[in-house]
Structure 1
């Protein structure tokens, strides 16, 4: 499965972008917020991806952060929410706003997204309310609060992806961060994602 693309922004439209990776153009569907984050044609970009395969279609969904991808997976697990609706929600709300809406039971905020009525918004908030606190997005960049045990984590780095992976498996942000920090310390800064996740899982589960 394709989990991440690093390449050049070749072209883009209202809900898609083409990422050129060593001469191969990958078409990815994306939210408006992700597309605005990518920049202009010719810029180097890193896109986290989710592949969806059905009997009649195969598509690649792109995200500016692993946190946005985690929310996409949660949203599409709710009955009545397909990839189109999930991307509409992620276009209307930032990850932080979506998290606050679900944690606070604010279905009206979720209903701001195109194609999301009050009934569906209430279902989304009710089903994701208990999960909202467990997938806090990794905040990076100037002024970002450091993650416990890791300090400032560059978005797209092995540490950031490993923390996200553990959180997607149900570990709390603090537990995931401490376990990844210990794994990186044990394996070294050049360790690959799979190795870091494997060692971090042992520490988190222990």
Structure 2
């Protein structure tokens, strides 16, 4: 099984990169975000790989980080989400933005991805809201997406929702409260302030 490829970009297309590894070229299917960060023809490239063998077809899927690969697998644990839709979601949303959308139950954001309708978005939220990666707060691979937005506020949002649930509120109540706070004050807020404002929102009649 191939875990990682290190080579030279030989060709780039809309949905794959051709990676030359010591004269052997591999077709690696990637998200649009990963392809955009793959550099130019002739540049060095490292991709984390997930190998799929289906009947007589072998496919390699490549990711800019182990965290992106983790999300690729996590998304496919949802009923009705296969490799194609998982890549489509990762093309439109970074891992940080996906985690934020799920934590805040933002189904409308998820459904903006082509092929992901309201029912699929609802399943993603319901099935993954308690399965968010354990490395959510530190995101060792966040630098890969530092210019894409979403990653900075991931930890405070998730921690604030967790904090409110520890205080006895349901996850739905906590997510709705934090979502309302972010809409009011923006995303550049630390965990403590999010919890305080979330409690204020929850105390309203």
TM-score by length of 1: 0.66
Q: Which residue of 1 aligns with 2:27?
A: 27
Q: Could you tell me how far apart the structure 2 residues matched to 1:19 and 1:28 are?
A: 7
The 8 Å contact of residues 104 and 129 in structure 1, kept in 2 or not, is answered as no
CA shift, 1:10, in A, is 0.5
The CA RMSD measured in Å over matched residues stands at: 1.6
Q: Which residue of 2 aligns with 1:7?
A: 7
Q: Could you tell me how far apart the structure 1 residues matched to 2:39 and 2:5 are?
A: 15
Q: Which residue of 2 aligns with 1:113?
A: 113
The 8 Å contact of residues 67 and 141 in structure 2, kept in 1 or not, is answered as no
What do residues 133-170 of structure 1 show as CA deviations (whole Å, max 9, x unaligned)? 5242324549x8xxxxxxxxxxxxxxxxxxxxxxxxxx
What do residues 36-92 of structure 1 show as CA deviations (whole Å, max 9, x unaligned)? 011111010110010011113210000011100000000111111111100000001
Q: Which residue of 2 aligns with 1:93?
A: 93
The 8 Å contact of residues 9 and 41 in structure 1, kept in 2 or not, is answered as yes
Can you give the 5+ residue segments of structure 1 that lack an aligned partner in the other structure?
145-206
The 8 Å contact of residues 65 and 141 in structure 2, kept in 1 or not, is answered as no
Structure showing greater radius of gyration is: 2
Can you give the 5+ residue segments of structure 2 that lack an aligned partner in the other structure?
147-205
Q: Which residue of 1 aligns with 2:84?
A: 84
1:70 alignment partner, SS class: helix
Q: Could you tell me how far apart the structure 2 residues matched to 1:66 and 1:133 are?
A: 12
Q: Could you tell me how far apart the structure 2 residues matched to 1:54 and 1:12 are?
A: 24
Quick check: 128-137 or 97-106, which moved more?
128-137
Alignment of 1:63-82 (within 5 A): 63-82=63-82
Equivalent pairs counted in the alignment come to 143
- Pair 1:43–1:138, CA change in 2 (3 A): same
1:132 alignment partner, SS class: coil
